[in-house]
Each structure stands twice: as C-alpha cells, then as structure tokens.
Chain A
Amino acid sequence: MRIVVDRELCQGHGVCVGEAPEVFRVAERRGDYAQVELLVDEPPERLRAAVEAAVRYCPNRALRIVEAPATPARSGGSAPASGTESGPAPRAR
C-alpha cells in the first residue's frame, strides 16, 4: 500500500497523526501552511487499519491509498520519505 497526499487540499489538521503516528507527521513550513509529511512511503500491512482510519477521517480528504505493486526494499534511512505527489489536478492554466 502506498499513500498519496494531495498537497493542494492539506491544511495540516493532524487527524492522520492521531490515527497513525508511525506514518504521518505535520511539518511546520516556513512562510507557508503546515502540512502532512509521510514518515514511510509504503507502510507495512500491520498499519493498514490505522492508515485507513487516517484516510477516512481526514477533514479535507487529502489522503488516499493506492495499492502499489511491491517495490524493492529501501536501504534503511531515517529521513522522511519524499515520494508524495499531488492527486490528479485538472488545473486552470
């Protein structure tokens, strides 16, 4: 399972942190709104229920789960994962 964050919807309420603190944190960002950050790209299955609750209770519906095919394991680093993306955004030009 992989988590996708729609950054144009996230306001950093932190509900996801309450549900799954192993997966999410709210990062203060200089000059901008606070926003969610993923601590792991692909959370382990044992956290599925917590991640699903985070998705369900997000007040802005900024999170979704995509079922990704298994990817090679990363070498263990502690830096927050950066592999997030915006959802499909049919933008005005």
Chain B
Amino acid sequence: MSASATAMDPRRPWPVVSGAKPGSGHYDEFLVHPARFLLRAWRECGELAEFDLGGLRHLLMVGPRAQEAVFRAPDDQLSPSPPYRFMVPVFGEGIQFGAPLEVERQQVKMQSSALRLDRMKGYAQVIAREVEDWVAGWDDEGEKDFYDELKELVLRTSTHCLMGSEFRARLTEEFGALYHDLEVAVSPASIVDPYAQSEIFARRDRSRARLAEIIGAVVQERRREGGQHPDMLQAFMEAEYLDGRKLSEHEIVGMVIWIMFAGFHTSSNTATWTSVELARNPACVPEIVREVDSVYAPGGELGFAALRELPMLERFLFETLRLHPPLVTLMRRVLRDFAWRDVVVPEGDTIVVSPYVAHRLPELYPDPERFDPTRRYPDDVFAFIPFGGGRRKCVGNAFAILQVKSILTALLSRYEFELVDPPESYRDVMPSLILRTSEPCRLRYRRRRR
C-alpha cells in the first residue's frame, strides 16, 4: 500500500515519512500524537513530507510560501470539505461540509456577520463579569486544575456572548458534558471513518440529538415570545439565504453547535495554556500585570478599546498560540492537480498545513521551543497561522482573542499564579484532534495584595 522510502513514485518526487506499516500506513503513530508525528515528518523529510493514514495519502507542506499557496488556492482546487467530513455527524447534515459549497459559503457568511466586531463591543464587559462571578467561589489562595476551571469559564462566557443571558442562566453541567462527547469523537479515528461502529461515535450521535433538543427549545421559546436579543443565536434566527429562505430549526441548531464547537475547546485550551505559561515564566508577569492594572480593576468596566492597550499580554498570548496552537492539522483535498514550485500534487491527495510545525521553523523562530514573548515575529502573514489563513481563516479569530484577553485580564487583576508540579510535567497532549494541556494541570493561585 504505502510506498516505502526507497521506491519513489515519479509523480510524487518527495520523500515519504519512514515507519509506514502495511495497510494502516502511519495511522498508529499519528493516532498517538498528531502534532508530534507531523514534527517528526518535517524533521525527517523537509518542506514536503508524504504520509499515509489507512490508505489515504497525505502531504504535509511546510513554510510560509507553501502555506500561502495553499491558503490562496480556490475552493474548487483545494477543498476542506472531504477531509473534514468527520464534522458532518457533529454539526448535522446540511450544515457546513454536509451542505453543497454554495450553501456552506452562505452559512460561513452568516457566522462571520454574527461575529462582526460591531456586535462584540459589549462582550469584554460580559466576560469580565462572568470571571468575577466564577472566582467569587475561590479562596484567598489554593490549588485548582486550570484545564477544568477554564473549560467551565469559557463555556460560560461563550454561551453568554453567543447565545444570550437567558440561555446562559439555564446553562447546566449537562451542556458541557454533551459538548465533551462531541469533542472526544473528533479523533484521528474519525478522519478514517466517522460512521464506524463504535461506542464513542454512538455517544456523539446521542449527545448531538440531546443538544438539538436543548437549543431547539430556546429557539421555539424566542419564536413564541419575540423580542430583541443582541447575540449570535438571534443573528442565526434572522439570517436569510440569498433566495430569502430562513434557516430551519435544524440548521440553527447546527450553526450553534458549529460556532460553539469551533470556539469552545480551542479557546479554553488556549486560555489554559496561557495561564500555565504565565506561571512557568514568572519574569514576564510583572510587566503584564502593570498593563492589566492600567486598564482594569476588579469590579470595574472592561471596554473593547481597553483590551487594545495590552500589547504585552497580547504578545504573551501569541507566543502561547505559537507553541501550543489548538488546531495542529489544517487539511485540504486536492480536487484539481495543484502545482507548487517544481512539483504537482495530484488530484485525490490530501494536503496538510500544520500550525504546530510552521511555528517551529528555526529560520523564522530561532531556538523555536523556547517560550519568549519578546521574540521578533517574522513580518509575514503566512508564517504565524494559529487561525489558518486566507478566506477560510477562522472567522472567530478576533472574538477568540478578545475572549482570552478578557478572561486573563480579569484573572490577573485579582490573582497571581504558580506551578504546582515540575515545569516540564505540563505537556501538550492530543486525546482528540485539539491540542491541550496534560492532566492534572494544577496551578496555585493567590490573591494579590494591592
């Protein structure tokens, strides 16, 4: 099946990653830790590295120019739809890649207009208030698992901003648990066959159906009672396709699951990693805290403009995203032969761009594994790609940054953080396709003396 490193296909004049097994290719190693596998692939093969996931041929393309070419290619040449079909049972048939391209494009537009910054001006304050409510249960000092804490906090802030205060008020533990079932099902195994018989996929389907009931009930209630709501759910309820058709309830539910899915674990894992790096790099903290104190005090107002006055916190967050990008594989299926420099990637292959690898190129980021928020970043849009790039870049990127900055501003205004365990014990792990911190992820917090 998979080519060995010696027998080179003349149509594919690039190296194949070592260690492929007959039949499954590199699947087993990929499954253990996709990010680590891709880093090894690049180290061994360079900017083009072929690998095989259970008979599906993949080509990792590394470097700002290769990444740019992929991000600028049109949808009908490089398509995200086939490689991401494992999202269809999560979001629902007829949603995103479960819909034809022209429908999907209109749905993305609805997502991005619901996320327009002019709608988001009030969100910083909502988030700061949520953090204050949350830490009201903390003591003056103690230990917490920050993976758990920030997951809950991001769930609360996201649902509040995106689905309104009445939904947030009724948020239960069940909702987070249902989302967790969806996340677990988005695994390397789902890349191969998202409809395979498995308990994990069966639970995904049950949880998705239950989420549809919960969200659908809110939609019906709003339809009955009317009224104005300044949130994304309302934007979806009012959105129209070009032919004037409104989203069905099934589609609204799918859009909500999609936007929450895209922005829940990605943001919570980023907020967790940022907290860990703050605890692990205490020398950076005083300057960031001074910055935070200049725009926010506990109980005060946190405005959209104030968050722009936090360049050090922002650089710290970017350095966290550089080393720990939550999405490590961005995939495109080649629908028409794709020429890149002197090679042609043939139709049917899958191209992989990896933020995890792209952010570790030593010629762009000297001593790449060193966490250094003061480092100079290359002046190249396609060198730093935690949200992807081009027209398919994550449409929630501005909201995500706003959310994580708001959460950290509110936390740092009250507390200081320390590691509980040895620094090297906090690692990147990938039980699903989303990179996160290893567990336990314990930090000690202490109320600041002001």
Contacts and interface: CB of A to CB of B under 8 A. Distances in A.
Nearest to A89: B72
B167 interface: no
Contacts of A33: 105, 108-109, 112, 391
A16 to B, nearest CB: 10
A60 B393 contact: yes
B113 interface: yes
Contact of A14 (B70, B109, B117): B117
Contact of A34 (B113, B308, B397): B113
A48 interface: no
Interface size bracket, A side: 20 to 34
Nearest to A17: B118
B118 A9 contact: no
Main secondary structure of the interface of A (DSSP, over half): loop
Given A11-B393, A31-B105, A90 B308 contact: no
Contacts of B72: 8, 89, 91-92
Nearest to A16: B117
Interface of B: 65, 68-73, 77, 102, 105-106, 108-109, 112-113, 115-118, 242, 308, 338-340, 381, 389-391, 393, 395, 397-398, 401
Given A18-B118, A31-B102, 16 more contacts: A8-B71, A8-B72, A9-B389, A12-B116, A13-B115, A13-B116, A13-B117, A14-B117, A33-B391, A59-B397, A59-B398, A91-B72, A91-B73, A92-B72, A92-B338, A92-B339
Contacts of B397: 59-60
Contacts of B393: 9, 11, 60
Contacts of A13: 112, 115-117, 395, 398
Contacts of A91: 69, 72-73
Interface string A1-33: 000000011111111011000000010001111
User: Which 7 pairs of residues, A with B, have the shortest CB-CB distance?
Assistant: A59-B398, A93-B339, A92-B69, A61-B381, A14-B116, A8-B72, A92-B340
A12 B390 contact: no
A66 to B, nearest CB: 16
A15 B112 CA distance: 12
Given A12-B112, A91-B69, A32 B117 contact: no
A57 B304 CA distance: 12
Contact of B112 (A17, A18, A34, A90): A34
A12 B111 CA distance: 11
Contacts, number: 72
A93 B397 CA distance: 29
B111 to A, nearest CB: 10
A12 B113 CA distance: 8
Contacts of A90: 65, 68-69
A32 B242 CA distance: 10
A14 B391 contact: no
Contacts of A57: 308
A9 B105 contact: no
Nearest to B121: A18
Contacts of A11: 112, 391, 393, 395
A31 to B, nearest CB: 6
A9 B308 contact: no
A8 B390 contact: yes
B242 A9 contact: no
14 contacts: A8-B71, A9-B389, A9-B390, A9-B393, A12-B112, A13-B116, A31-B102, A59-B398, A59-B401, A60-B381, A61-B381, A90-B68, A92-B339, A92-B340
Contacts of B105: 31-33
B124 to A, nearest CB: 14
A56 to B, nearest CB: 9
A29 to B, nearest CB: 9
A92 B72 CA distance: 8
A17 B116 CA distance: 11
Contacts of B242: 30-31
B389 A14 contact: no
Most B Cβ at <10 Å: residue of A14, A17, A90:
A14
A60 B401 CA distance: 13
Nearest to B109: A33
A93 B395 CA distance: 26
Contacts of B116: 12-14, 26
A14 B389 CA distance: 17
Interface in A60-91: 60-61, 89-91
A6 to B, nearest CB: 8
A57 B398 CA distance: 10
A30 B241 CA distance: 10
Contacts of A30: 242
A61 B90 CA distance: 31
Contacts of B113: 12, 34
A61 to B, nearest CB: 5
